Amino acid sequence: MAKKENNRADHEQLLQAEAQTWDCILSFVRPYCITCAVELGIPDILHKNGIMTISDLVASLPNLNPSKISFLPILMRILVHSGLLHYQKEVDGYSVTSAGSLLVENEPFSKRSNFLFSQNPIALKPFFSLSHWLQDDLPTAFDTTYGKSMWDYCAEEPKFGHIFNDAMASDSKLISHLLINSEQCKHVFEGLTSLVDVGGGTGTVAMAIANAFPRLNCIVLDLPHVIGDRKGITTGNLEFVAGSMFDSIPYANAILLKFILHNWSDEDCVKLLRKCRESIPSKEKGGKVIVIDIVMEDYSSNNINEQLVQVQHLMDVVMRITHGAKERTKTEWEKLFLDAGFSEYKITANLGFRSLIEIYP
């Protein structure tokens, strides 16, 4: 009897292990199904019309081949299980969830551009080279795949660079909103008279800050191919400057580094932070560097948000294989700040999987 029970337990354990393995094997299906839905405009249609049945949705997708209509409920089921759609059984209809609304194209905090960039074949290809990269002497899997860094690729291939910049601008909209409207964040800009958004891209964050604080003069610093036609433009209290952050940073009360340092090695981060330190006044005169970046969770904590931790882990992988960089723990951040000559810092963990860090000379 005991032997039968043991065999049954072994079988159940084996079947559970098999299911877990198949879940890993088939995990690639979900993002491609979501990409399909986004490209068809399904989140946009549901967001505009509210609850819709499959028949309603088919009528709103005139280019859908009639022979493929039977696949639509299958696609919708994946979106429901992904938490992007809600199925309402009583009306046999679908609606977008809060997460699904972030894939709607013209929503203020849409992540649509981020998602499409993540599924772009150029961005995905380095992941197929991971095992080769681990055995060669190149700094990133992107170099292994394309023979150049991602930054050089973006500069040489404007179409891909534009897709990347759109994704970064999309991500900046939500961060801008939180920085300006959150009681825990907006204090960082109060009392400042000047700010440089280093690596500020197309200026999404700086524009929002400049509008919210009309007495604060904001400068966006980024590479010439990113700044583009905005170079030298001054509108009200916002100015665009083209240049390398490793060469020179305009002098200001404060410098903003939003999701910049995680793109670089420790050595490059120290170089950049030293440049920042040269470009701000003392703490007594209001000088500081404002960093928006990931601070890896303390895994001994009892209050861990598993989803946020998973995002941090996955982002760490992306940074390492794409940029030869990484996400950092509190201890690793502290070492960077001290090595760059800063004396004090403050971390406020209130930006989801990211944190607000203020560092002082």
- Residue 262 is among the residues annotated as catalytic for this protein: yes
Closest residue by Cα to residue 246 from 176, 199, 315: 199
Cα 8 from Cα 12, distance rounded (Å):
6
What is the sign, positive or negative, of the torsion defined by CA atoms of 54, 55, 56, 57?
Answer: positive
CB-CB neighbours of 325 under 10 Å = 21
Please name every residue paired with 345 in a beta bridge, in sequence order, or none if there are none: 359
Tokens of 217: 């003069």
Cα 220 from Cα 340, distance rounded (Å):
23
**3-class secondary structure per residue, 55-109:** HHHHHCCCCCCHHHHHHHHHHHHHHHHCCCEEEECCCCEEEECHHHHCCCCCCCC
Catalytic residue among 162, 187, 225, 262: 262
Pseudo-torsion of CA 153, 155, 159, 161, nearest 10°?
80
| Residue 175 · residue 351 · CB < 8 Å | yes
| Residue 133 · residue 141 · CB < 8 Å | yes
Catalytic amino acids? Answer: 262
